[in-house]
Amino acid sequence: MNLDFSQIVPYIPFMLEGIWVTLKFVFFAIILGSIFGTVLALFKIGSAKPLRWFADAYTSIFRGTPLILQLMIIYYSIPQLTGYDISPFLSAILAFGLNSSAYISEIIRAGIQAVDKGQLEAAQALGVPYSAMMKDIILPQALKNILPALMNEFITLTKESAIVSTIGYLDLMRRAQVVGADLFRNFEPLLFVGVIYWCLVMGLTVIGRMVERRLKLSD
């Protein structure tokens, strides 16, 4: 095995910068996905049929097509159709955020429907407005049930973020490819970046468990 990790040492700062670059767009994508996913979940359990149809159609499209296809459509089609030269960063946020919202909406919908119906009936009997009931009673209880599934979605989003390297965004994966092309050695930088991804995922896993334990203490 002709391995020489010493050759990537000068490139380590360059690759480590990719951590912040990756986490930056993942963070905004998670925020977009969480907000829009919550809205879609409320549409799905609401009484307005057009909103339910829209939410179901949206989920079907984004869950039924590859994420990389959605990314490519946003990055390449928006300039063609609108003339706006969208950046790889904004393309990544939109693609990952919109894709994630489809999955998050199903997670939240299931969590809301898992809450005891007695809570809903009691709130309605007390005359609590629908928005306040969802915000203060139903969603906090649903969050405890769906937290593991949400953390799993965030972890998946972090791992799949490597796809943005296909549009030239200088994330961790793209930087490993740049180093590999410069050194004509791909295994060492890819393995190094793989370890970084593993550390990021383990960090998210630990944070999720800490939050889950904290929520259990409040029961």
pLDDT of amino acid 61: 94
Range of the domain at 40: 15-217
Residue 9 lies in a domain: no
Residue 7 lies in a domain: no
| 31 falls within a domain | yes
The span from the CA of 48 to the CA of 144, in Å, is: 27
Residue 172 inside a domain? The answer is: yes
pLDDT at position 4 is 81
Reading the chain (219 residues) residue by residue, the pLDDT tens digits are: 677 888 899 999 999 999 999 999 999 999 999 999 989 998 998 888 999 999 999 999 999 999 999 999 999 998 898 888 899 999 999 999 999 999 999 998 888 888 777 777 777 777 777 777 777 777 777 777 788 888 888 898 999 999 999 998 889 999 999 999 998 889 999 999 999 999 999 998 888 888 777 776 655
What local confidence, expressed as pLDDT, does residue 217 receive?
66
Q: What is the DSSP string of 122-186?
A: HHHHTT--HHHHIIIIIHHHHHHHHHHHHHHHHHHHHHHGGGGGGGT--SHHHHHHHHHHHHT--
Q: How many domains does the chain have?
A: 1
Domain contains 10 = no
Whole-model pTM: value is 0.86
191 part of a folded domain: yes
What is the C-alpha radius of gyration for the chain, rounded to an integer number of angstroms?
21
> What span, in angstroms and rounded, lies between the C-alpha atoms of 184 and 96?
31
| pLDDT recorded at residue 219 | 57
Q: For residue 74, give the amino acid letter.
A: I
The answer as to whether 5 is a domain residue is no
Residue 149's pLDDT is: 86
CATH of the domain at 178: 1.10.3720.10
145 within a domain of the structure (yes/no): yes
